[in-house]
A and B are shown apart, each in its own frame.
Chain A
Amino acid sequence: MSRPGPAQIGHFDPDTIRRGAIACLPLLPSTIIFGAVLGVLASQRGLSLGELLFMSLTVFAGSAQFVSVDLWRETIPAATIIVATAVINMRYILIGASLRPVFKGRPLWVKICGMHMVADENWAVTMTQENLANPGFLLGGGIFLGVVWAAGNIAGYLLGGGIPDPEVYALDFAFTAVFAALTIGMWKGKVDLLPWVAAAIGSIIGHYTLPGTWSILAGAGAGVVTAALTWRPDMDDDSLEAEIAVEGREAYGAPEGTGTTGSLSPEASK
């Protein structure tokens, strides 16, 4: 933690992995309960526990797994399930793209190893770190969530019921709450305002007009388009120079204009 900057930390430093795991601790109760709910559902739909765990660790995407397990039948509708998974997980293209600064200057193998255990939760926690976290931090959160998710699956599958209803303890709201709270940490200044408002409006419109998780893409798309349209070349290097020039001109002009009391003014003699 006392290390100077992310550049000096190794690709997957054990200490950083541990910190990444600890940062996802607030998500433990909800992740384990939802993992258990999925375990119960899987046992009813005829997946073996081994198949479910295999899915949880290879696909590692909660909402897509819920839909897929719900679609699961004795004759598996493989194409439907894979297409549904692709549609629901399409946001990961955007999430992957936004991780560019976390993997900046890292070799390809680090990207290949680091991009698997990326869920919405550890991504959001990583993106809001003060000194932008490195791949190890992201992976630590992913491993933690993966272990908890799989433990929940096992518990739900074996208990087959008797799992507390997540809604009673507002555990379903934990995901909404963590994303809402982390949004504050992503604020970088006024340039975020319009894209964020556009994202909110886009996702609300999408929520009422589109099925499933398309609202995420609608909102993100609206935010991206707004960000592209509101960009100006002077946004990167600040507009300090222009302001000084304007003030300077006024400073020269004002005394001469107001101070012309008589024929001593140079302009009057011309």
Chain B
Amino acid sequence: MNQFPDLTSFSLEAVLTILGMAAVTYGMRLGGLLMADRLPQHGRWAHVLERLPGAVLISVWVPSALSAGAIGIAGAVATVVTMALARNLFAAMAVGMVLVGIGRYFFG
């Protein structure tokens, strides 16, 4: 903990581990796109693909709002409502974060 931070050393196993992590991650990013390119442009698959981003996005934030507890759920609802009314990303994020910040200060 107290030793001077190690800035520039690269161990072989560290580099190989990181390259492995990078390869699987990039492979899935590019692979997903190339697989989708092979799906039909119309019909059921195109319809499913159009619903995909919303479904992924919801599945990312709904569990994380639940993890933040009641104040997290309230903050997410406030964010969504503000965005629906004001259509402004800054404002929506600010309302949600201020609410969560204040909520944690008083109830956390």
- A residues sitting closer than 8 Å to B (CB atoms) are 26, 43-44, 46-51, 54-55, 58-61, 64, 68, 76, 78, 81-82, 85-86, 89-100, 103, 111-112, 115-116, 118, 120, 124, 127, 157-158, 160, 167-188, 191-192, 195-196, 198-200, 202-204, 206-207, 215-220, 222-224, 227-228, 231, 233, 235-236
With A78-B17, A90-B28, A183-B54 given, is the CB distance from A173 to B97 under 8 Å? yes
A160 contacts across to B, CB distance below 8 A: 5
- Give chain B nearest CB distance to A34 CB in angstroms: 13
Contact of B55 among A118, A178, A224 (CB under 8 A): A224
Whether the pair B65, A176 counts as a contact (CB closer than 8 A) is: yes
Whether the pair B59, A50 counts as a contact (CB closer than 8 A) is: no
A191 contacts across to B, CB distance below 8 A: 47, 51
Q: How far is the CA of A138 from the CA of B79 in the complex (A)?
A: 24
B1 contacts across to A, CB distance below 8 A: 44
Q: Which residue of B lies closest to A57 (CB)?
A: B22
Whether the pair B53, A127 counts as a contact (CB closer than 8 A) is: yes
A216 contacts across to B, CB distance below 8 A: 56, 59-60, 63
With A82-B21, A231-B47 given, is the CB distance from A179 to B57 under 8 Å? yes
Contact of B10 among A51, A96, A227 (CB under 8 A): A51
- Give chain A nearest CB distance to B35 CB in angstroms: 6
Contact of B18 among A59, A169, A202 (CB under 8 A): A59
Q: Which residue of B lies closest to A43 (CB)?
A: B5
A186 contacts across to B, CB distance below 8 A: 53-54, 57
